[in-house]
Chain A
Amino acid sequence: MEPPATDLAALDDATLARRIATGPAGAEEAELCRRLLRRARLYGLRHLRDPHAAADLAQQVMLMTIERLRAGALRDPAMLASFVLGTCRNVVIELRRTHARRERLLETYASDEPEVVPDDAARLDHARVADCLRTLPARERSILIMTFYAERAAPELAAEMSLTEANVRVIRHRALQRMRDCVDAGGRP
């Protein structure tokens, strides 16, 4: 009989990995896949900056990890995160090659593919976020917009706005805290 999902959620990754390595463990595999998909997708977003490529990476990493675990080829399940990181790095290299090929094809055969909004964007109430953004102090609002519109780092903004890098980070951090509080409060500052 499979363990209840609530019990599985309480297990750490290494325990799930051990159970998968030692026998049929469908529920454990499903739980570990759920965790890895999310984490690897975030890794992909950070390193590839493309939601489709990040989804591809997550899928490949998850499958390769489960396959490796089933084969009992991961000697120390406590090192699962290290293994997943190594796999992510390799897949990123491969996806970058594929992406470069795709870019070349697009340049040759100019595509009208529409811009795709990542799934993430739908999970926050954007109208509420806009309300909160309007209530932010102007300095914080400017820094957040210029930071997140194109994911620009503090040194770049500091140079453009005559601020120190540390100052940009402080303003950014304070602004994000305010935004979180405001969004949690239903859009009221």
Chain B
Amino acid sequence: MKAGRCAGAVELSTLVEYWLGELDAAHEARVDEHLLGCDACAHGLDDIVQMGAAIRDGFVRGSVSAVLSAAFVRGLAASGWRVREYRVPSNGSVNCTVAPDDDLTVARLQASLAGVERLDVVRIAEGEVLERLANVPFDPTAGEVVFAPAMTGLRALRDQTVHIQLVDAGGAAERVIAGYDFNHAAWNG
């Protein structure tokens, strides 16, 4: 797919690589020069920049749940985010809450993931599936999955237990690898 109509239009994927600094210096210089002379491709880059800003905003506002890397969460904390972390052993439980000034709550779900090829994360409350994140990215050697539920949803929870399962969905039949109980209490100061 091309970003726009012009002579030598830059591919959309190349514009993303350019924006993220993945091109080598010579290629980057060629794209720099092309963008300074081409409205259509500059428009394509502008779209990417805007989309990136909107995605960032959605995450900052706590609108979405996501599995993240431990390094990414460390980076957030280092940059000043107030991150509340719960490290829970396989088939363990924890008492938890969300403070008004928390920016992110993270469940660090400990599990042996060796040999797992496809992993799903399932959140259940009162027998109902709240959400299922299918085929999440994970490092099988890390021994944990770092899951960040949407903060907007967490803040709306009343006192209740939310059960999270890690499911091996790579075989013919699903297998629950581990379960975790989060005994949530609304913040009372």
Contacts and interface: CB of A to CB of B under 8 A. Distances in A.
B partners with A: yes
Interface string A97-136: 0000000000000000000001011011110011001100
B159 interface: no
B129 interface: no
B137 A142 contact: yes
Interface in B26-72: 29, 32-39, 42, 45-61, 63-64, 66-72
A38 B135 CA distance: 40
B33 A124 contact: no
Interface stretch (B17-25, B93-101, B181-189): B17-25
Interface in A139-189: 139, 141-155, 157, 160-163, 169, 172-173, 176-177, 179-180, 183
Contacts of B68: 142, 145-146
A81 B36 contact: yes
Contacts of B56: 148-149
A16 B34 CA distance: 17
A142 B13 CA distance: 18
A39 B137 contact: no
A45 interface: yes
B64 A129 contact: no
B57 A139 contact: no
A185 B52 CA distance: 18
Interface in B115-147: 121, 133-142
Contact of A42 (B35, B57, B59, B142): B35
13 contacts: A40-B36, A125-B54, A126-B58, A130-B63, A138-B136, A139-B135, A139-B137, A145-B59, A145-B68, A150-B75, A154-B20, A163-B137, A179-B51
Nearest to A81: B37
B20 A39 contact: no
A145 B64 contact: yes
Contacts of B173: none
B16 interface: yes
Interface of chain A, main secondary structure: helix
A88 interface: yes
Chief secondary structure at chain B's binding surface: helix
A38 to B, nearest CB: 6
Nearest to A156: B71
Contacts, number: 164
Interface in B133-169: 133-142
B83 interface: no
Given A161-B139, A162-B139, 16 more contacts: A36-B36, A42-B42, A43-B32, A46-B19, A85-B36, A121-B57, A130-B61, A130-B64, A139-B136, A145-B59, A146-B72, A148-B56, A153-B21, A154-B22, A162-B140, A179-B51
Chain A, interface residues (CB within 8 Å), range: 35 or more
B12 interface: yes
B152 to A, nearest CB: 10
B137 A176 contact: no
A40 to B, nearest CB: 7
Contact of A84 (B36, B57, B61): B36
Across the A-B interface, give the 8 residue pairs with the lowest CB-CB distance, nearest first: A81-B37, A138-B133, A160-B69, A129-B54, A130-B58, A148-B52, A130-B63, A162-B139
Contact of A134 (B21, B45, B64, B138): B64
Contact of A82 (B33, B39, B46): B33
Nearest to B72: A146
B172 interface: no
A142 B67 contact: yes
